[in-house]
């Protein structure tokens, strides 16, 4: 069905991920833009490798590594988690790859993890990503004022979420829209 795959992050991937994360095309969309050292990246990978509340994937498209996706804060008591992604390969931006990633993550969270709620946070200035999430049924649930300080500027963040019941109503429609099936 999909030419997109989400492959679990391995130690062999972490330098590529660090380069993406430190790039001027990705870092501005993160809460912290401070460059990450190789040592910090190794420590981060060791930490997440032993954390059952998160999953990190390399996004692959036609065999090419494009970016990173994650599900974090998996909480079985609250039946929810957060998700995020970024594309490190700029050549595929705007080509519908983000929608395919989002579809695959929603399917994973609701059909494999069987959680009730998927959440994400987006800078209010990132209209494209907010609109993409809303097309998938995400609703704005929170507005975090001055949630992050970057380069001395206080930035607001929108909190969005979708429930499993909402996804169940539109998942087939979104599958057909994205994959033409």
Q: What is the pLDDT of residue 113?
A: 97
- CATH number, domain at 15? 3.40.630.30
Q: What is the pLDDT of residue 1?
A: 40
Domains identified in the chain, total number? 1
Q: What is the pLDDT of residue 164?
A: 97
User: Could you tell me the residue range of the domain that residue 97 belongs to?
Assistant: 4-179
Residues of the chain with pLDDT under 50: 1-2
Q: What is the pLDDT of residue 62?
A: 84
Q: What is the pLDDT of residue 94?
A: 67
Rounded to two decimals, what is the model's pTM? 0.92
The answer to whether 93 touches 142, Cβ cutoff 8 Å, is no
Strands in 55-61's sheet, in edge-to-edge order, are 4-8, 55-61, 64-75, 80-87, 117-123, 153-163, 139-150
pLDDT digits (tens, 9 = 90+) for 132-166: 999 999 999 999 999 999 888 999 999 999 999 99
């Amino acid at each position: 069905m999909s030419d997109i795959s989400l492959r679990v992050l391995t130690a062999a991937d972490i330098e590529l991920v660090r380069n993406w994360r430190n790039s001027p095309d990705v870092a501005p969309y993160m809460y912290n833009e401070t460059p990450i050292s190789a040592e910090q990246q190794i420590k981060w990978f060791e930490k997440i490798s032993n954390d059952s509340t998160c999953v990190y994937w390399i996004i692959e498209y036609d065999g090419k590594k494009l970016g990173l996706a994650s599900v974090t804060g998996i909480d079985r008591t609250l039946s929810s988690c957060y998700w995020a992604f970024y594309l490190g390969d700029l050549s595929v931006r705007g080509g519908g790859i983000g929608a395919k990633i989002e579809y695959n993550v929603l399917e994973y969270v609701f059909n494999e993890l069987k959680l009730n709620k998927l959440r994400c946070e987006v800078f209010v200035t990132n209209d494209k990503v907010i609109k993409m999430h809303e097309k998938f049924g995400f609703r704005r649930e929170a507005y975090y004022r001055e949630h992050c300080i970057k380069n001395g500027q206080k930035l607001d963040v929108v909190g969005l979420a979708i429930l499993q019941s909402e996804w169940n109503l539109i998942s087939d429609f979104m599958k057909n829209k994205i994959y033409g099936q």
